[in-house]
Chain A
């Protein structure tokens, strides 16, 4: 069990009197594509926020590669190789598409402020390399010809894609996608599924995603965690989840005897 890439042990998040997440344990293994599902308000995004350090769990701990990330700030967790996208898109709206991606690779920058002042060779090489890598990733997502457009002017679906591109630019080992297909139509969702499968292979990634689109989740996830009212009610392969009585009850309610 200890070879999990990202593992949560009994994490609880309490907001005042409300237990948003109640002693949840989950483990994602290297190379896996895992899903986190559950009805609205089940606490899925709260779990993401705890995994990435935005919230510190009230109790319990998160482990990355076996070491605890308790007390680390979000940027430090990002440096370890855990990154995420946001449910309500959080692009840097005033900046161009390319700048959005470049900011994400700042953590790998080797030059200091003096290098940029003297425009040293190190500065120029670094900048060039960053731009090239950014354009490569943008190219995979078909956004390279919009690199110099304002990110807020992109259509909704492309903004969602740009969030993924930006997350990839941090060179993560695991990426947490928060509802990547929200607001997308049928064919866009299908296209996104293929993209996710492709980047997983190309970048050797582990992925944990939250999604409401069951077709997407059942189609690509290998392991699924089901959350309801902050408690994990089921875990397993798509077929197991589809036939689980507990999951069906959580989504559709319990049938009353008439």
Chain B
């Protein structure tokens, strides 16, 4: 039971935070809080492939779409529990969405992970576009009109609890994977594939493993998105969405879990926080400032906010020393 202590404590902390958000803030801020959690799951899972394993994937939105559509379709057609208990069936649906996305990740990863760098990026990008175009042409999933009227949980606090559960699960699953021998295998693949092979690491299998786990959590994030927004269409999962997640990973630091968390929060909040500025000046400089601040950040900290360090290490290195 010792192993559940930290996850339960972090979940409790999140629930208290959620309670505060529930009473103190308006619906818009509450929605942003939910998006932050979704983006955190997306960024951490992509970091496993792009940061820790060193493979450049650009297809995260595709896996997210699969998870979202599966979870939405199940909730609209197979909900077997009364609405009050739908949180339980939704747990199952999101899990199924994640598993389907993971299977897709396996199908894509198996042949394409022989490629490296730019080539892999193009293949994964192509895959996510195929998903999107396929969804556009599936009439039973709404086609271009999308799926509207997905039954959600209809309460901010339930939404927040539900997504916090997945966030904590995602964080600890990935964290413990990385800190195990399997995770060191992933790092070895990033550092030097030839040496890794000579030391007995099955590099092809390692890459597929990272890809499958990453796709699973992308699917989970997609399922959460479907329930929170209650409307999904192929347009929700474009190439730009994948790029956005890549930005979070790079900004936070390739190979830093807590970096991904912080960056996901920044990238979600920044464009929204700049809205008042637009009202004052009358011109929409939002995206200009947003991109400029990203450029400046990357010049000042080329390895991302945290580099390869985690939050406690960053704290020790920069904050405590200067104090």
Contact with B along A48-64 (1 / 0, CB 8 A): 00001110000000000
* Bound Cα distance A237, B201 (Å): 36
The residue on B at minimum CB distance from A112 is B182
Query: Count of chain A residues with Cβ under 8 Å from any Cβ of B?
Result: 42
> Is A91 in contact with B195, judged by CB distance below 8 angstroms?
yes
The binding surface of chain B is classed by DSSP as helix
Segment touching A, from B139-147, B173-181, B282-290: B173-181
Q: How far is the CB of A49 from chain B (nearest CB, A)?
A: 10
| A118 CB–B CB distance under 8 Å | yes
| B322 CB–A CB distance under 8 Å | no
> Is A116 in contact with B184, judged by CB distance below 8 angstroms?
no
> Is B198 in contact with A92, judged by CB distance below 8 angstroms?
no
- Identify which of A78, A83, A111, A118 contacts B3 (C-beta below 8 A): A118
Within 8 A of B (CB), among A86-143: 86, 90-95, 99, 102-107, 109, 111-113, 115-120, 123, 126-127, 130
Q: How far is the CB of A69 from chain B (nearest CB, A)?
A: 14
A-B contact count (CB 8 A): 115
Given contacts A86-B195, A94-B308, A116-B177, contact A103 B172 (CB under 8 A): no
Chain B residues with CB under 8 A of A118: 3
| B323 CB–A CB distance under 8 Å | no
Q: How far is the CB of B76 from chain A (nearest CB, A)?
A: 32
Chain A residues with CB under 8 A of B191: 92-95
| A166 CB–B CB distance under 8 Å | yes
> Is A103 in contact with B194, judged by CB distance below 8 angstroms?
no
Contact with B along A157-172 (1 / 0, CB 8 A): 0000000001101100
| B197 CB–A CB distance under 8 Å | yes
> Is B199 in contact with A166, judged by CB distance below 8 angstroms?
yes
> Is A78 in contact with B180, judged by CB distance below 8 angstroms?
no
Chain A residues with CB under 8 A of B200: 75, 78-79, 83, 104, 106-107, 170
Which A residues fall within an 8 A CB radius of B? 52-54, 73-75, 78-79, 83-84, 86, 90-95, 99, 102-107, 109, 111-113, 115-120, 123, 126-127, 130, 166-167, 169-170
